[in-house]
């Protein structure tokens, strides 16, 4: 209409309309919370790059990549569990256990290593199934269920392994490189996981029902959504991804360490999810946001280490940053809910 | 066609059976008697205003009609056939749908995903959501219903109470509900929003596919869209009048008189 009549009178209106469209586009970009977190990530990276030239060196970027990859894979699962209104605190101990399962299947049972990997992921999935069943059927809050599961798994891993690290199998092979010893391959795993889970969240019934379950449990089940099955499925997914991250970590450092993973990676995953905009109360969030949240954490950790900040000081800064992110998450969510009224 | 027959049914009780009817429904919760013999009916295509004070038994009656509670005694008829409503999903399978203002919708999902929840269209044979198709159908449907929503892509959390209510009603009708129970559809709404919901109820009535029970505290607001008003008091229907035979003022007088008498006797 206006475009097809290129006279002088139409132009100002056209220009104003374009400006408005532009402003609206910018507005909706910032409304996507992961976008504003991306701005933070870029700003942080720019700061550290200026402060310390080593930040942008190839080796350092690989360090960030592997740190990011392991966290981001766990974050992807945690985001799904959190969107449906639950939390999984045991995922880090699944990460510690899975490579041992893999090792036992390979070393003690003498099966091919890839079968060991599959077995590790299956056992991880069973842990998620138990988490889900206890939470959904026995109605124990997932916070408590998975906290108990954390201790149980940690004890199990420590007793069966004698609490000693062992060497990761088949070092120097292409399989080991593919399974995470090569940090680029590890990043590839993370990106693949994030994309697949995000597509599942945005474009499948599973994702729709996950948001529905966390956003309005009663309304979703009234509409016919099997909210129990959705929750259990997401617990299983989260545990399997925790197991995958643990196996990748083991191959990367060529060692299976019973003290790897644990609360540390779980806490980073939950923080990454929250920083990336997943609502603590459930009902909304994105996997891509979680990935960028994990990226922010990776940049912070690496940057501060390069700056030579002590580990204790670092914990202080990181803890404060995460608290602020969580407070913002809750207050922004509240404002968003009231947005239209 | 159904509009005409509905009007006929409204005049003479002879032709076809009411959409839903109850006979002597009683329900008690422990020592508390919620309903003591409710006999009411909703004709096809009719809009029935169900009014009454807090604790009069409105919500208990609605929960019985949607299968959430089972009555202690009495009968329920749907299309003239006696039914025992076993559960909410059983009632829904018979076309009975309740619309609660905030209960039904998922705040984090778009308007069109809410409309299609559990009825999603997929890109067969792929397992992905046919978002474009659902979006297009939702736009058409809402336009047909006369529901004005700023954008179909907006998360429901961002919409106003009136818009949410309109979407919840539209969804119930889209699911081919034949009997709609609207629980306080105008609660906490400004005049403009309330008018929009009343217009929507009016549109639905003109389409003639659904029969509606509107539960309202403030009956003056819903009076204009109702064909008939039932007053529920102390667990029974104490007044049943067509809105064409009574004015709001007269109704108010009756209600006030009823309360005065009940307070004196109590």
B36-48 residue pLDDT tens: 999 999 999 999 9
Q: List pLDDT tens digits, range A126-164.
A: 999 999 999 999 999 999 999 999 999 999 999 999 889
What is d(CA B97, CA A191) in angstroms, rounded to the nearest whole number? 44
Range of weakest confidence among A274-288, A304-318, B34-48: A304-318
Facing B106 at nearest CB: one of A211, A336, A337: A211
Task: Check if the beta carbon of residue A270 is closer than 8 Å to that of residue A78.
Answer: yes
Task: Say whether pLDDT at B15 is over 60.
Answer: no
With both helix axes pointing from N to C terminus, report the angle between A58-83 and A183-203 in degrees, rounded to the nearest 10.
30
HSE of A112 in the Cβ direction (CA atoms, 13 Å)? 4
Q: What is the distance of C-alpha B241 from the center of its chain?
A: 18
Task: Check if the beta carbon of residue B141 is closer than 8 Å to that of residue A246.
Answer: no
DSSP letter for A170, please.
S
State residue B5's pLDDT score. Answer: 44
DSSP letter for A168, please.
P
Strand order in the sheet with B20-29: B32-42, B20-29, B73-78, B81-83
**For chain A, percent of residues with pLDDT exceeding 90:** 71
Q: List pLDDT tens digits, range A77-127.
A: 999 999 999 999 999 999 999 999 999 999 999 999 999 999 999 999 999
What is d(CA A66, CA A254) in angstroms, rounded to the nearest whole number? 13
Residue B187 burial (CB count, 10 A): 16
pTM of the model: 0.84
Range of weakest confidence among A241-245, A331-335, B255-259: A331-335
Q: Are strands B179-183 and B211-216 parallel, antiparallel or unpaired?
A: parallel
DSSP A223-253: TT--HHHHHHHHHHHHHHHHHHHHHHHHHHH
What is d(CA A265, CA B258) in angstroms, rounded to the nearest whole number? 67
Task: Say whether pLDDT at B74 is over 70.
Answer: yes
Q: Are strands B47-51 and B211-216 parallel, antiparallel or unpaired?
A: parallel
**CATH 1.10.3470 is right for the domain spanning A37-335:** yes
A203 in reach of chain B (CB within 8 A) = yes
What residues have CB less than 8 Å from A62, skipping those under 6 apart?
Answer: A183, A184
Mean pLDDT value across chain A: 88
DSSP A141-161: -HHHHHHHHHHHHHHHHHHHH
What is d(CA A192, CA A189) in angstroms, rounded to the nearest whole number? 5
What is d(CA A301, CA A299) in angstroms, rounded to the nearest whole number? 6
A44 in reach of chain B (CB within 8 A) = no
Q: How confident is the model at residue A265 (pLDDT cuts 50, 70, 90)?
A: very high
CB contact under 8 Å between A211 and B109, yes or no, is yes
Q: Which residues of B touch A224 (CB under 8 A)?
A: 89, 118
| Domain residue ranges in chain A | 37-335
Phi-psi region of B44 (alpha: psi -120 to 50; beta: other; left: phi over 0): beta
State residue B151's pLDDT score. Answer: 86
CA nearest neighbour of B231 among B212, B258, B260: B258
**A313 vs A18, more confident:** A313
CB contact under 8 Å between A283 and B107, yes or no, is yes
What is the average pLDDT across A63-72? Answer: 95
State residue B174's pLDDT score. Answer: 86
Facing B108 at nearest CB: one of A203, A284, A341: A284
Task: Check if the beta carbon of residue B3 is closer than 8 Å to that of residue B208.
Answer: yes
Task: Say whether pLDDT at A3 is over 50.
Answer: no
Exposed, middle or buried by CB within 10 Å (0-12, 13-18, 19+), for A304? middle
**For chain B, percent of residues with pLDDT exceeding 90:** 47
Three-class SS state of B137? helix
What residues have CB less than 8 Å from A34, skipping those under 6 apart?
Answer: A276, A277, A286, A288, A289, A292, A293
CA nearest neighbour of B53 among B245, B239, B250: B239
B254 in reach of chain A (CB within 8 A) = no
Q: How far is CA A135 from CA A22, A141, A148, B124, in A?
A: 46, 6, 12, 34
State residue B10's pLDDT score. Answer: 41
Three-class SS state of B182? strand
Min distance A200 CA to chain B CA atoms (Å): 8
Highest mean pLDDT among A99-113, A307-321, B179-193: A99-113
Task: Say whether pLDDT at A275 is over 70.
Answer: yes
Task: Say whether pLDDT at A6 is over 60.
Answer: no
Return phi, psi of residue A101, to 5°. -55, -45
What is d(CA B171, CA B134) in angstroms, rounded to the nearest whole number? 13
Could you tell me where the DSSP H helices lie in chain A? 10-31, 33-51, 58-83, 91-107, 113-136, 142-161, 174-176, 183-203, 205-215, 217-222, 227-253, 262-275, 287-307, 311-337
**A298 vs B52, more confident:** A298
Return phi, psi of residue A34, to 5°. -65, -25
Range of weakest confidence among A67-81, A160-174, A243-257: A160-174
State residue A24's pLDDT score. Answer: 62
Task: Check if the beta carbon of residue B99 is closer than 8 Å to that of residue B169.
Answer: yes
**How far apart, in Å, do the first and last CA atoms of chain B sit?**
49
Question: Nearest residue on chain A to B149, judged by CA atoms?
Answer: A340
Mutate to test the interface with B, among A28, A199, A210, A223 (most CBs of B within 10 A): A223
CA nearest neighbour of A95 among A289, A206, A253: A253
Q: How confident is the model at residue A215 (pLDDT cuts 50, 70, 90)?
A: very high
Task: Say whether pLDDT at A336 is over 60.
Answer: no
Task: Say whether pLDDT at A338 is over 70.
Answer: no
Calculate ∠ Cα B141-B147-B151, nearest 5°. 85
CB contact under 8 Å between A208 and B107, yes or no, is no
What is the average pLDDT across B196-213? Answer: 90
Q: Which residues of A touch B160 (CB under 8 A)?
A: 340-341
Q: Are strands B47-51 and B228-233 parallel, antiparallel or unpaired?
A: parallel
């Amino acid at each position: 209409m206006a475009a097809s009549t290129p006279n002088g009178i139409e132009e100002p209106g056209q220009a104003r309309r374009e400006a408005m469209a532009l402003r609206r586009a910018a507005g909706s970009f910032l409304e996507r919370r992961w976008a504003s977190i991306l701005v933070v990530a870029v700003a942080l990276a720019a700061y550290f790059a200026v402060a310390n030239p080593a930040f942008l060196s190839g080796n350092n970027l690989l360090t960030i990549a592997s740190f990011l990859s392991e966290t981001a894979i766990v974050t992807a699962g945690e985001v799904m569990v959190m969107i449906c209104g639950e939390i999984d605190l045991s995922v880090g101990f699944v990460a510690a256990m899975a490579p041992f399962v893999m090792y036992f299947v390979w070393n003690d049972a003498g099966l091919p290593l890839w079968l060991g990997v599959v077995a590790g992921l299956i056992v991880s999935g069973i842990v998620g199934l138990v988490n889900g069943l206890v939470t959904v059927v026995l109605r124990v809050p997932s916070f408590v269920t998975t906290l108990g599961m954390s201790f149980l798994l940690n004890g199990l891993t420590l007793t069966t392994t004698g609490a000693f690290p062992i060497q990761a199998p088949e070092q120097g092979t292409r399989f080991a490189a593919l399974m995470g010893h090569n940090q680029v391959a590890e990043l590839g795993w993370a990106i693949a996981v994030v994309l697949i889970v995000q597509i599942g969240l945005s474009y499948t019934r599973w994702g729709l029902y996950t948001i529905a379950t966390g956003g309005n449990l009663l309304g979703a089940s009234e509409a016919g959504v099997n909210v129990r099955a959705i929750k259990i499925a997401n617990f299983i997914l989260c545990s399997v991804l925790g197991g995958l991250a643990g196996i990748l970590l083991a191959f990367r450092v060529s060692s299976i360490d019973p003290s790897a993973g644990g609360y540390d990676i779980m806490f980073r995953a939950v923080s990454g999810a929250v920083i990336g905009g997943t609502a603590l109360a459930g009902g909304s969030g994105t996997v891509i946001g979680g990935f960028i949240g994990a990226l922010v954490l990776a940049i912070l950790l690496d940057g501060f280490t390069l700056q030579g900040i002590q580990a204790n000081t670092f914990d202080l800064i990181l803890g404060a940053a995460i608290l602020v992110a969580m407070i913002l998450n809750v207050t922004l969510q509240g404002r968003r809910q009231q947005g239209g009224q | 066609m159904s509009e005409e027959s509905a009007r006929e049914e409204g005049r003479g009780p002879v032709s076809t059976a009411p959409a839903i009817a109850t006979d002597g429904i009683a329900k008690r919760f422990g020592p508390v008697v919620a309903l003591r013999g409710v006999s009411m009916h909703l004709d096809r295509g009719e809009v029935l205003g169900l009014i009454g004070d807090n604790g009069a038994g409105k919500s208990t009656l609605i929960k019985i009609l949607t299968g959430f509670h089972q009555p202690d005694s009495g009968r329920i008829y749907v299309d003239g056939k006696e039914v025992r409503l076993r559960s909410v999903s059983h009632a829904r399978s018979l076309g009975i749908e309740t619309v609660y203002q905030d209960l039904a919708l998922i705040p984090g999902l778009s308007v069109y995903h809410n409309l299609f929840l559990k009825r999603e269209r997929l890109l067969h044979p792929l397992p992905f959501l046919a978002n474009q198709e659902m979006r297009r159908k939702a736009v058409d449907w809402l336009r047909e219903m006369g529901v004005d929503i700023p954008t179909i892509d907006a998360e429901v959390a961002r919409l106003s109470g009136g818009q949410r209510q309109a979407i919840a009603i539209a969804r119930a009708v889209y699911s081919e509900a034949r009997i709609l129970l609207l629980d306080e559809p105008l609660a906490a709404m400004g005049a403009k929003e309330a008018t929009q919901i009343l217009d929507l109820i009016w549109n639905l009535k003109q389409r003639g596919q659904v029969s509606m029970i509107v539960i309202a505290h403030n009956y003056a607001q819903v009076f204009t869209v109702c064909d008939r008003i039932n007053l529920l008091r102390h667990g029974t229907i104490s007044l049943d009048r067509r809105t064409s035979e009574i004015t709001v003022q007269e109704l108010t007088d009756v209600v006030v008189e009823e309360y005065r008498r009940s307070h004196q006797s109590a």
